A = this chain, B = another copy of it.
C-alpha cells in the first residue's frame, strides 16, 4: 500500500482549484500556477488532480469521450463507473426545471441528468468494492 507524502505542488494545486471560481481544467490550473511555479509540469498537475479526486479531496466533472444518442426527447442517462457503459434510465426527466429562476442572468436551454452507478455485469464481477 502506498503511503502518500506531503508535497508542496499538490497543496498549491489544491489551493488553485479552491481559489478559482471557474471549476478549472488541468490546463487552467497549470497556467494559473506557472507565474509562481515556473518549473511546474502539466503532467504533475494531472497526476495530482486525479490523485486528489480519487481521495475525495476534489470532485471531477465529465468524461473524456463524446457519446451519441438517437433518442431525441430529453431523458435521463446512467453511466457505469467501472466499464463506462451508458444506458437510458426509466426515471422522470423534468423539463419544468429549465424554467426555474436561475438568476444571475443565465438563459437556460436545457439540462442533463446523468446518474453514476455500477451496471449489473460489473456488479456481478466484484460485488464488494464500490
Contact = CB atoms under 8 A, between A and B. Distances in A.
**Candidate in A49, A105, A123, A130 with the most chain B CB atoms within 10 angstroms:** A105
A65 interface: yes
Interface stretch (A2-10, A18-26, A36-44): A18-26
Contact of A117 (B58, B87, B102): B102
Contacts of A113: 111-113
Interface of A: 14, 17-18, 21-27, 29, 49, 53, 56-72, 77-78, 80-81, 85-91, 97-98, 100, 102-120, 123, 130
**Candidate in A60, A62, A71 with the most chain B CB atoms within 10 angstroms:** A62
A23 B67 contact: yes
A86 B120 CA distance: 32
A69 B26 CA distance: 11
A103 B89 CA distance: 9
Given A18-B70, A106-B117, A114-B114, 8 more contacts: A17-B68, A27-B65, A49-B66, A60-B67, A91-B97, A107-B123, A108-B117, A112-B112
A91 B27 CA distance: 28
